[in-house]
Copies of this chain bind each other. A is one copy, B any other.
């Protein structure tokens, strides 16, 4: 037996969680929302709508769209998104450790 969990930030609906974290991490690496979405088996339009929804709920931008230029455009994560990912990652790890400890305390002999 083990314990499993899911956490997310909420503000009038899901504002951030594992899925968005993974999507943004991939944008950070590829500088392309299209490529990041593709890697996760998500359509570009679905990923784009998701980002729009999250930005509205969070109250700050997650992506900077670069239009045209030598590299032909692409997306960059904003500094706010980088900060959010950093915090979320630490938060998620701390939550995992806390839950594991509490599970041992309450269910040590299950």
Contacts and interface: CB of A to CB of B under 8 A. Distances in A.
A2 B9 contact: yes
Interface of A: 1-11, 15, 58, 84, 87-88, 90-91, 94-95, 98-99, 102-103, 105-107, 110
Contact of A99 (B7, B15, B107): B7
The complex is assembled from copies of this chain, and their number is 2
Nearest to A87: B106
Contact of A87 (B58, B84, B107): B107
A52 B11 CA distance: 37
Given A95-B98, A95-B102, 14 more contacts: A1-B9, A1-B11, A1-B15, A2-B9, A2-B11, A3-B9, A4-B7, A5-B5, A5-B95, A91-B102, A91-B106, A94-B106, A95-B99, A98-B98
Nearest to A84: B110
A10 B15 contact: no
Nearest first, the 3 closest Cβ-Cβ pairs linking A and B are A91-B106, A98-B98, A5-B7
18 contacts: A1-B9, A2-B10, A3-B8, A5-B7, A5-B8, A9-B107, A87-B106, A87-B107, A87-B110, A90-B106, A91-B106, A91-B107, A94-B102, A94-B105, A95-B98, A98-B98, A98-B99, A98-B102
